[in-house]
Chain A
C-alpha cells in the first residue's frame, strides 16, 4: 500500500487560481469572468498579469454565462468564476441553452462547493450541482481532490474543446498529489490498489478515503482507492476493472446521495456487473452552518463513515 504524506496544505480554489494564470500564459485566448468574487476565486494573479483579458460582470451570474457563451464566438476560451451555487442552480437555463445546447467552449469554474464552505450555511452549500451539470448533454464534469490536481485540471480544461464544469472548494487540505502530474480528463487515478473493496472517491473525499484506507489496512482490509476526478465522462473501464477484483463498492463524495458520483457508478454496475454498493454522501438534505470538520462528521462524510460503509458493504458481499 502506498503511503501518502504531505508537507503543505492549501485550498483547491488556490489551485484553480494558479492553474488559471498558467493556462493564460499558455494560450492568449483564455479569458476570465467573475461575478464579484475575485478574492474568493483567487483570480487576482490572472487579473494582474492579463488585465485586458478579465471581465468583471458584477453580481449578475446569468449575464456572466451569456457573455461567456458569446465570447467563444471569435475564439476566446472563457473561464467563469463564482461560487458553485451561483455557477449552477442560479443559472441553469443560461448554461443549458447558451452553453451546453449551443456547444460553447466555456469553462464553468465553481468554488465553495459542498458543505465545506462552512459557516455561511445551506444557502451557499450546494450539494446538487454535480447532478445538474452531469445531466446536461455534452457537459464534462470534473471535481479534483487537492491543490495540485485542481491546478493541473484547470490547465487541462483550457486545452479541451467543449463546455466543462470544474468544481472545487474552500477548505485548506493536504497536498498529496504530484505537482507535475499529467491530468487526463476522463481517466481515473489509482490511489492505492487493494482486493477487498473498491472505494471510488471524488473531490475532498479522496483524502478521507486515503485516511480510511490506512485504518482499514490496520484492520486487515485491503481497500482499493480510486480517485474519480472526472465524473463525466466516467472512466467506466477503471470502475469495472476494479469491481471485477473486489466485488463490492463504496462511493464517496461531498454531494447529495441523489444524482452524484454514486449514482453514475450504480448505473454502470447495474448495467454490467451488479455488486453490493454503499454511498458515502449527504442523505438528501440541506446543510447548515458550522466548521467544515464539524459538518463533514455530522453529515457522514469523514473517514470514519467511509470505514463504516466498507464494513457494511463487505458484509453484504457474502
Chain B
C-alpha cells in the first residue's frame, strides 16, 4: 500500500502521455469517447499517482485501500490508460481497446477480469450508489480507506443520482469523495440547452454535502483540492467536488465542444492532435 510521491513535472508528463494514449486508442478502433476522457485526465492522474493509497496488486475487495469508481463509464479510455500506466496491466494491452476478445471493453467491466475495475458502468446514474455501498462496507469493516467516485454532469439528469444524493448525508457517509465533471456538454449539446442543471453548488449543499470547487484542468489545483477533500473526510458529511473541465482539454480543435463526445479522430486529426502533446514517455 502506498501513496506515490511524484513531482508536478512528472505528473504533467504522465497526463500528457495519457492524453496521447486516449487519442491513439480511440483512433485505433475508430470509436470511443475522447472528449470527456481528455477533460478528466488531470483528475485521474492526480488520483492514481498522488492522492490514493492503493495496492500495486489488484484485489476486488480492496481492503485497507482507497477505491475509485467511474460512474460515467464512457470515458473508459482515460481510465484504461491511467490503470495501465499505474501498473495494473501492461500498456501494450491498450491497443486492444474496443476490439474483439479484449479485456478493454467499450465501457468498463469486471466481466473480463481487467485488474483495477470493481464494477461495470456505462448505463448512467449507478456509480454513486455503488460507491456509497463500498463506503458503507469500509465502515462496517473498520477500514479507514476512502472511496472516490466520478460522474458526468449530464449524468446528473438520471434520477438514481438524486436517490444517492439524499442517502449519503442522511447516513453520514463521510468516507466518500465524489466528483462531477462539469464540462457543460452532453451528446445532444450544451447541458444548459438539453436539460439545465442549475446551481449545482446550491443543490448539493441543500442535500447536505460538503461542496468543493476545482479547476479540473489545472493539475496543481486538482492535487490541492483533492488533498483538501481528504482532510475534510470523516467529519460527518460526504464530499462533492464540482470539477470544471474543458471537454477535449489539451487538443485545441477538440476543446469545449460536445462534437468530440463520441467521435474518433481520423489519421490527419490524430497527427495534428499528437503534435500538441509532446511527451518524453513512450507510446504503447
| Contacting residue for A103 out of B110, B133, B159, B163, CB 8 A | B110
Are A57 and B167 interface neighbours, CB within 8 A? yes
**Contact B118–A66 (Cβ < 8 Å):** no
- Report the minimum CB–CB distance from A49 to chain B (whole Å): 15
**A residues within 8 A CB of B160?**
62-63, 66, 94
A73 to B125, CA, bound (A): 19
Which B residues lie within 8 Å of A63 (CB)? 129, 132, 160, 163-164, 167
CB 8 Å contact bits of B10-39 with A (1 = contact, 0 = none): 000000000000000000000000000000
A74 touches B63 (CB 8 A): yes
Q: Across the interface, do A67 and B133 meet the contact criterion of CB distance under 8 Å?
A: yes
Chain B residues, CB < 8 A from A70: 69, 119, 129-137
Whether B3 is near chain A, meaning CB under 8 Å from some CB there, is no
On chain B, the residues within 8 Å of A76 by CB distance are 137, 140
A101 interface contact, C-beta 8 A = yes
Most chain B CB within 10 A, of A57, A63, A68, is at A63
Contact assessment for B123 and A73 in the assembled complex, using a CB-CB cutoff below 8 Å: no
CA distance A57 to B160 in the complex (A): 12
Interface residue? A185 (CB, 8 A): no
Residues from chain A with a CB closer than 8 A to the CB of B141 are 74-75
Q: Are B62 and A73 in contact (CB under 8 A)?
A: yes
Q: Which residue of B lies closest to A31 (CB)?
A: B140
Which B92-139 residues sit within 8 Å CB-CB of chain A? 109-111, 118-123, 125-138
The yes or no answer to A179 lying at the interface (CB within 8 A) is no
Question: Interface code A57-73, partner B: CB below 8 Å = 1, 0 otherwise?
Answer: 11010111111111111
**Per-residue interface assignment for chain B, residues 165 to 186, with 1 indicating a CB less than 8 Å from any chain A CB and 0 otherwise:** 0110001000000000000000
Question: Interface digits, A86-112 against B, CB 8 Å rule (1 contact, 0 not)?
Answer: 000000011011100111100000000
When the two chains form their complex, are residues B61 and A71 in contact, meaning their CB atoms are under 8 A apart?
no
A98 and B120 contacting across the interface, CB-CB below 8 Å: yes
Which residues from chain A contact B67 at a C-beta distance below 8 Å?
73
Residue-wise, chain B 52-86 has the 8 Å CB interface mask toward A (1 for contact) of: 00000000111100010100000000000000000
Q: Are B129 and A67 in contact (CB under 8 A)?
A: yes
Chain B residues in contact with chain A, CB under 8 A?
60-63, 67, 69, 109-111, 118-123, 125-138, 140-141, 143, 159-160, 163-164, 166-167, 171
Q: List 9 A-B contacts (CB under 8 A).
A: A52-B140, A63-B160, A69-B130, A71-B134, A73-B62, A74-B137, A74-B141, A98-B119, A98-B130
Interface size range on A against B: 20 to 34
Report yes or no: B132 in contact with A73, Cβ–Cβ below 8 A.
no
| A53 interface contact, C-beta 8 A | yes
B120 engages A74 (CB within 8 Å): no
| B166–A66 touching, CB < 8 Å | no
A98-B119, A103-B111 known; A67 vs B61 contact (CB < 8 Å)? no
Report the Cα distance A93→B124, complex, angstroms: 10
- Min CB–CB distance A136 → chain B (angstroms): 13
Contact, CB under 8 Å: B62 / A60: no
Contact A60 B166 (CB under 8 A): yes
Closest residue of chain B to A52 (Cβ to Cβ) is B140
Q: A60-B163, A102-B109 are in contact. Are A66 and B132 (CB under 8 A)?
A: yes
CA distance A73 to B130 in the complex (A): 9
Any B CB within 8 A of the CB of A269: no
Contacts of B140 in A (CB 8 A): 31, 52-53, 74, 76
- Cα(A52)–Cα(B137), bound, Å: 11
Query: Does B110 contact A68, Cβ atoms closer than 8 Å?
Result: no
